[in-house]
Amino acid sequence: MPSLKEVRNRIASVNSTQQITKAMKMVSAAKLRRATDAITQMRPYSQKLTEMIATVSASAEVAKSNPFTTVRDVQRVLIIVVTSDRGLCGAFNANVGKAAVTLVNEKYASQFAAGNVEILALGKKGGEYLSRRGYKVNEAFVDIFTKLSFANVRLAAEAAMDGFVAGKYDVVELVYNEFKNVATQVLQVEQMLPLVEAETTQTKKSSVDYIFEPSEEEIINELMPKALKLQVFKAVLESNASEHGARMTAMDKATENAGELLKELKLIYNRSRQAAITKEILEIVGGAEALASA
């Protein structure tokens, strides 16, 4: 049985840890509120922009000649992995890393063997996870969450888009966590580039004969880059909200576990204290009997 001092030290340590996990839970709860507001406002805009592109491109032949719809033999792959900068959020980051590894193993194994798979890490944890497993990681935008804004995310999206247009990448994939609620994050793996037929014709062709001003080509060339940048920004906002939800859940569970551990330690402490008292009483009684028999 451990000594009373050892148990007291463990109780103090667990108490301190519990206070930290409580504080982290409260911080994540406050940040989650702002993050969910941001993604809730973003979703209708993103959906409407996607519908606009689908409506215009469904009947426009110029969409097929757009550089972002060019389909090539897949030799070089870019995977954009969106994770967090910090841990202590359960399996949030590991799940994204595993999804990226699974994607490579199932679709791009030959490209990876040839060294033609590159990871664009948005968030430190994803880059660390994949670099340890031998992947070529581009960390140019790894600190995107230090100051989260559309301007910063736009630069990362443009780097991927420019690389695709220049032929540096033949396909661009996006891996992130979609926010559902505090306890649920859904892994999403989306092909960002090239824009394929199924993605640009999500809505049925309208029977309305539209008059376009300016031309269809100008509208598509203007909307497609914006939609791609918005797709990455939406993924980052989804991941940001998911991170705080995952951390809040993890810290709540950690606080609960600390409480259970404190109960066990206090029970051990009381037992040890009772055993020490009983031992002292026995020593006193034994000493008294020895004096009486002397």
Q: Which residues are catalytic?
A: 89
Of residues 129, 134, 138, 151, the one with CA closest to residue 78: 138
Of residues 53, 43, 6, the one with CA closest to residue 199: 53
Give how far Cα 74 sits from Cα of 170, 192, 194, Å.
5, 14, 11
Q: Which two tokens stand for residue 241?
A: 């909200």
As a whole number of Å, the CA-based R_g of the chain is 29
Cβ contacts of 142 within 8 Å, gap of 6 or more: 121, 122, 123, 124, 127
State the Cα–Cα distance between residues 149 and 119, nearest whole angstrom: 21
Q: Where are the beta strands (DSSP E) in the chain?
A: 77-82, 117-122, 136-138, 171-181, 184-193
Q: For strand 136-138 and strand 184-193, is the pairing parallel, antiparallel, or unpaired?
A: unpaired
